[in-house]
Amino acid sequence: MAAIILLGLNHNTAPVELRECIAFSEEDTELALEELHERTEFKEILLLSTCNRVELLLVTDDRETCVAEAKQFLAEHNRVPLDDVEPALYVHEGADAIRHVFRVASSLDSMMVGEPQILGQIKSAYRTATQKKTSGVILNRLLHRAFFVAKRVRSETGIGDHAVSISYAAIELGRKIFGTLEGKEVLLVGAGEMAELAVENLIRHHAGTIWVANRTFERGLELATRFGGRAIRLEEIPESLQHVDIIIGSTGATDLVITSDHVRAIMRRRKNRPLFFIDIAVPRDIDPAINRLTNCYVYDIDDLKEIIDENIEDRNREAIKGERIVEEATIRFSQWCDSLAVVPTIVALRRKMEDIIDEQIDKTLGGLKHFSETDREAFDRMKQALINKMLHDPTMFLKSNGCLGDRSLYLDVTRRMFNLDNER
Amino acid sequence: MENLRYLIILLYLASTVSYLLYLFIQKDGFHRAGIYLLIAGVGIHSAEILYATVSSGQLPATNLYDALSIAAWAIALVFLVIQFRYKIRILGIFAAPLAAMVTILSTRLPETPIPAQNIFNSIWFIIHIVSVFIGDAALALACGVGLLYLLQEHAIKAKKRGFFYSRLPSLELLDTTGYACIVVGFTMLTIGLITGFVYAKAIWGRFWSWDPKEVWSGITWILYAVLLHERLTVGWRGRRAAIMAIVGFCVVLFTFFGVNFFMKGHHGQFTTF
């Protein structure tokens, strides 16, 4: 009987140095699939490679050889000694492998629980496998199930809710203040990776003009050109507060760049439209006292980090619900896998026929009261004989090795053709 | 008539429960149920008022029993309009119970009919009553929105994102909605006052007679006029506008009830019991 095996390493078991050695590029993946597909033990193969994990999902009849060969392959293909790779590898089989696939797809196994990229990465890994024709009846069904489970986990739990990065947390807050960020003008004071990331996110939310103020005007001009905005000098900041709505502070200055007095002077001219200050500089650029002014909101890096920590806790709580959904799906998928054995299929087929004939006999004999008990027994014997004769050839076929090594395909076809799982 | 009013109360209460569930569980279904129940309530309530008007030949607003019922009807109606315009769902948590409470209050009062007098038949009288009540309802909702604004503002300012933070809409939406409520309320109040003057002139022969209700209505009107003026000129928005909306509504309440209990005047008979 075919077994599902999952073998791989992830951010928990392998350090980044090892993960980057083992990683497969798009082309590598195709080559690997081709190479493994030539070996007869590997009946179905899927290779998932992301920056946090490399996993081989396999269907095989011969698990020992398969696992050994797969390990060997991972090491050799990437020219890493097997002894280095082996301790980082985990091997799951049957229900454990199924559960693992579902958890990965639902982003419950991710470094950042609930991050949305993983599902897309699995989808593309599956697409590659189908193009290379290395996925078969079991993996097709497993992966489609996994996509469905992932969707359910995302829609029924809050694992994807709330920002878990500084720039997204700032965006979320901005939307709670302004409703929409569309057309809101942004002043970037200083530069820095995190600040620029935040500005890019704001632009994605259709923010208005981006103003850039920098100690060196050239650098400011350069950034402004990149964001399609305008550069101003540091001295112009107090004046610019009249026009902008969101201020991001990110300078290396030791003193405050924007003080409470600056803001107080400008609020009346702004007609009290709200101002949102995001201070990601250490030491701080923006006077915390500004937060006490009406319609002004100041969040510094610690405030944002606190929000993120809370959100991560929320996600982890939600993940528990996700685990339940995964468990349910795992049980149901395991049942389907078990049903793919020959005997249960034949038994189910027999029962189906018995049910049909019983129903028809009852219907016919219901109107014919003159048959005796002995007559009825004769009908019953006829029923058994009919079923035996009818099922003889299908049984022989399913039990034989004539299925070209892919018995699960024919079992699946049989089950679906006769609707043995009551799916219709 | 009494039974009909119990049905209306039932619908308003059911809507309140739906909105409460929506507040806690955050499932869209509860919000939808809440709004449909409220629509049903307002529909029946409108029919009741219309029937009473047609059968007695005058608007049923001659005693506190009827006046409160119209107030509740106006609150629910104005909320529905605001909801459709601004999609500010959570306001239902304020409007539905308020409508239910005011209707319940009305049934607890004795129904003392005032003999039909032709002073109530004037078209000015009907416009006066309807616009004043719709205006007051809009100002009540402005007060509700103001309370929600203060809650949300506090959550963002204090950086303590509690129960309400994720459940309340953005400050901007709350502020705009509150402003819209006040504009509607103020406009209706103005129409109410003008028709009141015209009506007073027709009945008593003078526009203004220093009746306490008139005086307090004037004060209310001036208060909201100042609020709107300040908003348009120097931008009294956000926190200050929210507080003013709440204070303003307290004055409205006093004008509505307080004047009748503490002072005498020609509005007294409509609202005594």
Sorted by sequence, the CB contacts under 8 Å of residue A367 that are 6+ apart come out as none
Chain B residues near residue A177 by CB distance under 8 angstroms: 156, 170-172
Q: Verify whether the Cβ–Cβ distance A297 to B156 is below 8 Å.
A: yes
Q: Which among B161, B171, B235 is the nearest to A177, CB-wise?
A: B171
Rounded CA gap, A131 and A125, in Å? 10
pLDDT tens for A380-423 read 899 999 999 999 988 888 877 655 556 778 888 888 899 888 77
**Single-letter residue type at B193:** L
Task: Calculate how close chain A gets to B100, using CA atoms only, in Å.
Answer: 30
Q: Which among B156, B234, B240 is the nearest to A177, CB-wise?
A: B156
Task: Calculate how close chain A gets to B164, using CA atoms only, in Å.
Answer: 12
Q: What is the pLDDT along chain B (273 residues), one digit of tens a residue?
A: 678 888 999 999 999 999 999 888 888 889 899 999 999 999 999 998 888 888 877 777 777 778 888 889 999 999 999 888 888 888 888 899 999 998 888 887 766 655 555 556 677 888 888 898 899 999 999 999 999 999 999 999 998 877 888 888 999 999 999 999 999 999 999 999 999 888 888 877 778 777 788 888 899 999 999 999 988 888 888 888 999 999 999 999 888 877 766 666 556 555 444
Mutation choice for A interface testing from B150, B151, B154, B159 by most A CBs within 10 A: B159
- Give, to the nearest 10 degrees, the angle between helix A407-417 and helix A137-156: 60
B158 shares contact with chain A (CB less than 8 Å): no
* Structure-token pair, residue B65: 């029993």
Assembly ipTM: 0.82
* Structure-token pair, residue A27: 């082309």
Walk across the sheet containing A53-60 and list its strands.
Answer: A44-49, A53-60, A3-10, A90-93
Q: Which among A177, A268, A306 is the nearest to B170, CB-wise?
A: A177
Q: Verify whether the Cβ–Cβ distance A274 to B159 is below 8 Å.
A: no
User: Do B183 and B135 contact (CB within 8 A), yes or no?
Assistant: no
Q: Verify whether the Cβ–Cβ distance B236 to A272 is below 8 Å.
A: yes
Residue A254: exposed, middle, or buried by beta-carbon count in 10 A (0-12, 13-18, 19+)?
A: exposed
For the question of residue A51 being annotated catalytic, the response is yes
B154 shares contact with chain A (CB less than 8 Å): no
Domains and CATH numbers, chain A: 3-156 (3.30.460.30), 166-308 (3.40.50.720), 342-417 (no CATH)
Domains and CATH numbers, chain B: 1-115 (1.20.120), 122-273 (no CATH)
Q: Verify whether the Cβ–Cβ distance A177 to B169 is below 8 Å.
A: no
User: Do A387 and A354 contact (CB within 8 A), yes or no?
Assistant: yes
Chain B residues near residue A300 by CB distance under 8 angstroms: none
What is the maximum span of chain B, computed from C-alpha positions, in angstroms?
A: 60
**What is the percent of chain A with per-residue pLDDT over 90, rounded to a whole number?**
47
